[in-house]
């Protein structure tokens, strides 16, 4: 069974001691490709070093995470655009709006997202969206910009059936991760009503480990737990979930 982790911070400091082993564990469980979103200027070096060391398995995105957006965000975006002009990345991301931690910089987050949407259009790349407590605010910007050329992922989707329909209408995919295994995650009410063609799988490691590892460090080797939960909720064979979500990810990222 081949799987793709469409969103993983495997370059994170939390994997400093055993990154190679974590990647080997994942590969042994069929997780053949791992797409890595950038955070900000502090993560670029280790992101690219991880890709350079594991080029067949680890593939980089480039973007500015909304929680790194502050009054000086223009300098961060300049660096993102500079890197996008230097080499090919899998996607622009992760970017979006986060209203969970701090609402202070919402106008700056909105502007940073709009800029990155245009970078995705310019470089003909998918865009990977972070929408924590901000689905409506993020959707509004993407919907206004969608002219048929934008594609991407609403990463860590944990919304309603209505929001899932809006994502599909935009032509975007939903990234499904460990939240699908949580008792009160809400996806048990949504996934039976969506199509596999609209999904990709993710871990978002080291965060959001699936049950029974909830609260511990997440890693790509746990992706089969997500695949099995999605299969259970959608009443599909897990092999079909793996094959379809893998195809969806490869078609989107085109690398």
Residues belonging to the binding site for a divalent metal cation are 7, 9, 94, 130, 155, 204
Task: Return the structure tokens found at 132.
Answer: 């924590």
Residues across the chain: 255
Q: Beta strand 152-154 with 199-201: parallel, antiparallel or unpaired? A: unpaired
Q: Work out the end-to-end distance of the chain between its first and last CA atoms, rounded to an integer number of angstroms.
A: 20
| Residue 236: C-alpha distances to residues 34, 140, 187, 230, 242 (Å) | 24, 33, 16, 8, 10
d(CA 22, CA 53): 14
d(CA 15, CA 23): 10
Task: Return the structure tokens found at 26.
Answer: 């994942």
Task: Return the structure tokens found at 116.
Answer: 């990155």
d(CA 106, CA 97): 7
Q: Which residues are annotated as a binding site?
A: 7, 9, 94, 130, 155, 204
At a CB cut-off of 8 Å and minimum separation 6, what does 159 contact? 131, 135, 167, 186, 190
Cis peptide bond N-terminal to 94, omega within 30: yes
Residue whose entry in the numeric block shows the structure tokens 């069929």: 30
Instruction: Assess contact for 6 and 204: CB atoms under 8 A.
Output: no
Instruction: Assess contact for 14 and 220: CB atoms under 8 A.
Output: no
């Amino acid at each position: 069974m081949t799987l793709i982790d469409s969103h993983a911070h495997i370059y994170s400091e939390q994997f400093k001691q055993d990154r190679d082993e974590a990647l080997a564990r994942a590969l042994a469980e069929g997780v053949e490709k791992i797409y890595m979103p950038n955070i900000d200027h502090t993560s670029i070096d280790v992101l690219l070093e991880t890709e350079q060391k594991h080029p067949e398995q680890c593939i980089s995105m480039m973007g500015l995470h909304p929680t790194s957006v502050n009054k000086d965000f223009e300098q961060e975006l300049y660096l993102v655009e500079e890197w996008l002009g230097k080499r090919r990345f899998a996607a622009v991301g992760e970017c979006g709006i986060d209203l969970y931690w701090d609402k202070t910089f919402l106008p700056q987050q909105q502007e940073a997202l709009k800029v990155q949407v245009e970078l995705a259009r310019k470089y003909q790349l998918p865009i990977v969206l972070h929408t924590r407590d901000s689905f409506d605010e993020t959707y509004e910007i993407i919907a206004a910009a969608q002219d048929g050329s934008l594609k991407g992922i609403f990463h860590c989707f944990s919304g309603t059936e209505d929001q899932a329909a809006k994502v599909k209408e935009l032509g975007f995919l939903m990234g499904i991760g460990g939240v699908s295994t949580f008792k009160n995650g809400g996806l048990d009410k949504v996934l039976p009503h969506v199509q596999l063609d609209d999904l990709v799988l993710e871990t978002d490691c080291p965060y959001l480990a699936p049950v029974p590892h909830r609260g511990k460090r997440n890693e790509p080797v746990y992706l089969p737990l997500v695949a099995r939960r999605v299969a259970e909720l959608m009443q599909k064979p897990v092999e079909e979930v793996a094959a379809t979500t893998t195809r969806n990810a490869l078609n989107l990222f085109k690398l």
